[in-house]
Amino acid sequence: MRVTVAICTFNRAESLRRTLESLARMQSAEIDWELVVVNNNCTDHTDAVIAGFANLLPIRREFEREPGQSNARNRAIEVATGDYILWTDDDVIVDPGWLAAYANAFRSRPEAAVFGGPIRPKYESPAVKWIIDSERLLGGPYCIRDLGDAATPLSVAGNRLPLGANFAIRTVEQRAFRYDPELGLTPLRQRRGDEHDVIERILQAGAIGYPVPGAIVEHCIGRERQTIDYLRRYYAGAGEQDAFVERYKGHGQRGPFWFGVPRWLWFGLVEGWLLYHLHRPLSPGPVWVRHLKLYAYASGAIQFWRRERRYARQ
């Protein structure tokens, strides 16, 4: 059994260095594996960082000119030589036993096609208090995930699915289900959901997946992401993502519509905005963060629907 570890990166050279340093510390002597790092048209010193690990890791640099995380992931799929593709990000620190835990899961669960491990936050010090207080509400933007025990299968119901910083897919299924370039981050778009879309389609096709509790990564959260503005952008992107899926993936439309937009989004925008500004000055973080999420999400979805309406008129 061979494992391909894949990382897609864009202009995060020093963050990538930290991730590669943690990979170099792994317990991997008895595992047949390769590391594919896809340079998604970086303009910084990413290639120099990758080259610096040539003698420390079984590393291979690939290049994808077309911007976007989905395009970079599809490039990694094309060149992967492993029986499983293990995905992580360029802003994590992997546990020394991370790869070994996945390898053991692959061997013990040969019937499974999808796997996912825990993601724990590692805040740049000092962490912002209102974020710590609201952490259970912020699993998406800070990529926090605990899928539970290894015996309980992954499931679309209840959103028991892994996140992009720590999951694996058997290569046969991964090549059959590619990442949609209309989803996933790009330099100009905050739309996410590319891995969720793929994993959901694989499971709905009849495959099974399991958590890997011992495969832990820490997600490094810099001060620039510990801000209200970051959360606004994240949840606006989430709203755009869900509106896109609703519009183009056949999940139905939540009508009635007002001015080309599902009516509930207008109510959500007004309610969220008013309650956020009412509670922000004096209430604890978990109170106003809920309302910030709602109005940012609604604003992103509304922008998508209005843009679609303008295109339809042209």
> pLDDT tens, 255-312?
688 888 899 999 999 999 999 999 999 999 999 999 999 999 999 999 999 888 776 6
d(CA 13, CA 10): 8
Domain total for the chain? 2
More confident residue, 314 or 21: 21
- In this prediction, residue 254 carries a pLDDT of 64
Same domain, 49 and 175: yes
Which of 157, 191, 223 is the endpoint of a domain? 223
Residues 144 and 288 both lie in one domain: no
Q: Which residues contact 271 (CB under 8 A, 6 or more apart)?
A: 291, 294, 295
User: 252 pLDDT exceeds 60?
Assistant: no
Distance CA 171, CA 181 (A): 19
Could you tell me how many residues make up the chain? 314
What's the pLDDT score for residue 187?
A: 79
**Residue 8 pLDDT exceeds 90:** yes
Contacts of 180 (CB under 8 A, 6+ apart): 70, 194, 197, 198
- What is the Cα gyration radius of the chain? 20
Q: Which residues pair with residue 11 across a beta bridge? A: none
How many CB atoms are closer than 10 A to CB 26?
18
User: Omega into 211 within 30° of 0, i.e. cis?
Assistant: no
Q: What is the pLDDT of residues 154-197, one digit of tens each?
A: 999 888 999 999 999 999 999 999 999 988 878 777 778 899 99
H or E element at residue 113: none
Q: Are residues 233 and 206 in the same domain?
A: no
Q: Of 225, 237, 205, 242, whose CA–CA distance to 114 is shortest?
A: 205
> Same structural domain for residues 219 and 235?
no
Q: State the average pLDDT over residues 247-257.
A: 69
Domain boundary at 223, 251, 283, which? 223
Q: For residues 127, 145, 268 and 201, what is the CA-based torsion angle, rounded to 10 degrees?
A: 150
The answer to whether residues 120 and 259 belong to one domain is no
Do residues 181 and 288 both lie within one domain?
no
Cα separation, 43 vs 41, whole angstroms: 7
The H or E element that residue 87 is part of is strand 84-88
Residues 28 and 160 in one domain: yes
Distance CA 110, CA 209 (A): 10
What is the C-alpha to C-alpha distance for residues 129 and 131, in angstroms, rounded to an integer?
5
Instruction: Give residue 98's identity as a one-letter amino acid code.
Output: W
- Averaged pLDDT for residues 198-226: 97
pLDDT at residue 10 is higher than 80:
yes
Give the DSSP H/E element, type plus range, for residue 312: helix 285-313
Residue where one domain finishes, among candidates 223, 246, 267: 223
In a shared domain, residues 244 and 209: no
Report yes or no: 295 and 266 within 8 Å, Cβ to Cβ.
Answer: no
> pLDDT tens, 36-61?
999 999 999 999 999 999 999 999 99
Question: What is the enclosing helix (H) or strand (E) of 289?
Answer: helix 285-313
Which domain range does residue 280 map to? 228-313
Same domain, 215 and 243: no
Decide: 163 and 143 in contact? Cβ < 8 Å.
yes
* Residue type at position 150: A
Could you give the CA distance from residue 34 to residue 56 in angstroms, rounded to a whole number? 12
C-alpha of 119 from chain center? 11
Over the stretch 75-133, which tens digit does the pLDDT of each residue have?
A: 999 999 999 999 999 999 999 999 999 999 999 999 999 999 999 999 988 889 999 99
User: At 28, is the pLDDT very low, low, confident or very high (cuts 50, 70, 90)?
Assistant: confident
85 and 155 share one domain:
yes
- In angstroms, rounded to a whole number, what is the distance separating the alpha carbons of residues 148 and 195? 19
Q: What mean pLDDT do residues 242-258 have?
A: 75
| Position 3, amino acid | V
Six-digit token pair at 178? 């590619």
Do 232 and 207 fall into the same domain? no
Note the pLDDT of residue 247: 81
In angstroms, the CA 92 to CA 289 distance is 25
User: In this structure, are 49 and 178 located in the same domain?
Assistant: yes
Q: What is the CATH number of the domain that holds 79?
A: 3.90.550.10
